[in-house]
Amino acid sequence: MNELISRIRRDGAISVAAYMDAVATAYYAQGDVFGARGDFITAPEISQTFGELIGLWCAVVWQNMGAPASFRLVECGPGRGTLMADLLRAAARVPGFAKAADIHLVERSLALRARQRDTLKTQNIAWHDDIATVPPGPVILVANEFLDALPIRQFEMTDSGWMERFVTVDETGTLRFTLKAGTPGAASGVEAGAVLETSPAITDFVSTLAARIASNGGAALLIDYGHEKTALGETLQAVKKHRPCGVFETPGEADLTAHVDFAAVAAAAAGLKVYGPVAQGTWLARLGIKLRGLQLSKGKPPAAVETIAAGVRRLTAADAMGALFKVIALAHPSLATPDGFQQDAAP
Ligand code: SAH
């Protein structure tokens, strides 16, 4: 990250968003950072039931779309490719789905693309830096823990009004925050010291996706940790070897993420119907995760049965990932309510 420090010394302080972008690029370029021996573990790496249920969800959406002979099956930020592999295996039980699915992965890290190629070696796959280059046609898109990695801006209320946080370097070469003129454009009556985060990157991503689905048809399923309503508070965090660390501690060697503001996601989905967000635990329970866990356990030794049950518990329990993580679906208005959201529909 010496390059980043030299760049800041030469060109001046950079926004928190520019810092996150630079750090994430360096971080994911390392390749496999997931799992027990990596820095953090994600739902598809905890239990295969996660990707399998999402696969069945996609197959039902596809049928609802009228089972088009060809559609773009897109995943953003596929990590090791585990979710896509589990999704395809489960959805292949629905006749016609596998043949119709034209797979596109949105992934910037070349090292992770190689890892995904390895996991999905029997599939024909196209990679993209951005969803904008995925060719036209109806789309079913999934993304788990992708939005939390997209850059955010941070604003701080001071005695003289809102200022934007920037990242600078002090005389000793240490990264630190500084404030510059800037306003998030909203929120009055806020006390000094309060922090508000916004994510133009998430808004851009969701608006591009929404325009695409509105004109070509389809749906998107976005799963991430975050809050239902826009709220004040600082959520930018760094994690290394499963432990939180300072955001400036080892830039490029720790995973930097922020809570997703689902109200902002919903607001950017112009022209689509928004379902949820629903707590991940609730959504997976509605899709039958317990039953899937039991099916998987059949004929397995007790230790394996315990591992499967522990995985299901971790994904669904409110004190684990079940409540903090949320699921939101953005769908073309012509589609029937997707699975796992019918229960929320107004009576
Ligand atoms: N979905 C996976 C991995 C989540 S980690 C899982 O659940 O295990 C975040 C993923 O998003 C990584 O694959 C990372 O390389 C990718 N990513 C992060 N920022 C990105 C961006 N701006 N464009 C494309 N991919 C990005």
Q: Classify residue 18: in a domain, yes or no.
A: no
Residue 347 reports pLDDT greater than 60: no
Q: Classify residue 7: in a domain, yes or no.
A: no
Question: Distance (Å, rounded) from C-alpha 49 to C-alpha 120?
Answer: 18
Residue 169 reports pLDDT greater than 80: yes
Question: Distance (Å, rounded) from C-alpha 9 to C-alpha 196?
Answer: 27
pLDDT-derived band at 184, boundaries 50, 70, 90: confident
Position 344 scores a pLDDT of: 80
Determine contact, residues 29/111, Cβ cutoff 8 Å: yes
- Give the distance (Å) from ligand 1 centre to CA of residue 227: 20
222: Cβ below 6 Å to ligand 1? no
Residues ≥6 apart with Cβ < 8 Å to 241 = 39
Site to probe by mutation for ligand 1, drawn from 27, 87, 110, 146 as the one with most ligand atoms within 8 Å of Cβ, is 146
Q: Classify residue 33: in a domain, yes or no.
A: no
Q: Classify residue 129: in a domain, yes or no.
A: yes
Q: Which two tokens stand for residue 295?
A: 């099916």
- The residue count of the chain comes to 347
Q: Classify residue 187: in a domain, yes or no.
A: no
- Give the distance (Å) from ligand 1 centre to CA of residue 254: 14
Residues ≥6 apart with Cβ < 8 Å to 14 = 7, 8, 22, 166, 167
Residue 105 reports pLDDT greater than 90: yes
Backbone angles phi, psi at 75, to 5 degrees: -125, 135
Question: Helix, strand or coil for residue 67?
Answer: coil
Q: 55-81 pLDDT, tens per residue? A: 999 999 999 999 999 999 999 999 999
Residue 85 reports pLDDT greater than 80: yes
- Give the distance (Å) from ligand 1 centre to CA of residue 137: 23
Name the residue among 126, 187, 182, 188 with its Cα closest to residue 153.
182
Question: Distance (Å, rounded) from C-alpha 329 to C-alpha 236?
Answer: 24
Determine contact, residues 221/278, Cβ cutoff 8 Å: no
Strands 218-227 and 243-245: unpaired
Q: Classify residue 64: in a domain, yes or no.
A: yes
Name the residue among 186, 171, 116, 143 with its Cα closest to residue 43.
143
Q: Which two tokens stand for residue 157?
A: 């209320």
Site to probe by mutation for ligand 1, drawn from 23, 42, 105, 108 as the one with most ligand atoms within 8 Å of Cβ, is 108
Query: 7 to each of 165, 167, 169, 173, how far by Cα in Å?
Result: 17, 11, 10, 12
Q: Classify residue 168: in a domain, yes or no.
A: no
pLDDT > 70: percent of the chain: 98
Residue 345 reports pLDDT greater than 80: no
Question: Can you tell me which atom of ligand 1 is nearest the CA of 148?
Answer: 9
261: Cβ below 6 Å to ligand 1? no
Average pLDDT, rounded, for the chain = 95
Enumerate the H helices of the chain as residue ranges.
Answer: 2-11, 16-29, 43-46, 48-64, 82-91, 97-100, 110-119, 200-216, 262-268, 280-286, 289-297, 302-316
pLDDT-derived band at 346, boundaries 50, 70, 90: low
Residue 295 sits in a domain whose CATH number is 3.40.50.12710
Q: How many independent structural domains does the chain possess?
A: 1
Q: 198-224 pLDDT, tens per residue? A: 999 999 999 999 999 999 999 999 999
Question: Distance (Å, rounded) from C-alpha 76 to C-alpha 92?
Answer: 20
Question: Distance (Å, rounded) from C-alpha 79 to C-alpha 88?
Answer: 16
Question: Can you tell me which atom of ligand 1 is nearest the CA of 151?
Answer: 22
Q: Classify residue 165: in a domain, yes or no.
A: no
Centre a 10 Å sphere on the Cβ of residue 230 and count the other Cβ atoms it contains. Answer: 15
Tokens 């922020």 map to which residue? 258
Backbone angles phi, psi at 245, to 5 degrees: -140, 170
Range of the domain at 322: 43-146+196-245+258-344
Centre a 10 Å sphere on the Cβ of residue 128 and count the other Cβ atoms it contains. Answer: 16
Question: Distance (Å, rounded) from C-alpha 261 to C-alpha 206?
Answer: 12
Site to probe by mutation for ligand 1, drawn from 28, 49, 128 as the one with most ligand atoms within 8 Å of Cβ, is 28
Centre a 10 Å sphere on the Cβ of residue 237 and count the other Cβ atoms it contains. Answer: 16
Residues ≥6 apart with Cβ < 8 Å to 290 = 312
- Give the distance (Å) from ligand 1 centre to CA of residue 30: 12
Question: Distance (Å, rounded) from C-alpha 304 to C-alpha 87?
Answer: 21
Q: pTM for the complete prediction?
A: 0.97
Q: How confident is the model over 44-62, as a mean pLDDT?
A: 98
Q: How confident is the model over 280-288, as a mean pLDDT?
A: 98
- Give the distance (Å) from ligand 1 centre to CA of residue 201: 14
Name the residue among 320, 76, 97 with its Cα closest to residue 222.
76
Residue 265 reports pLDDT greater than 60: yes
pLDDT-derived band at 197, boundaries 50, 70, 90: very high
CB burial string 174-187: b at 16+ within 10 A, e below: ebeeebeebebeee
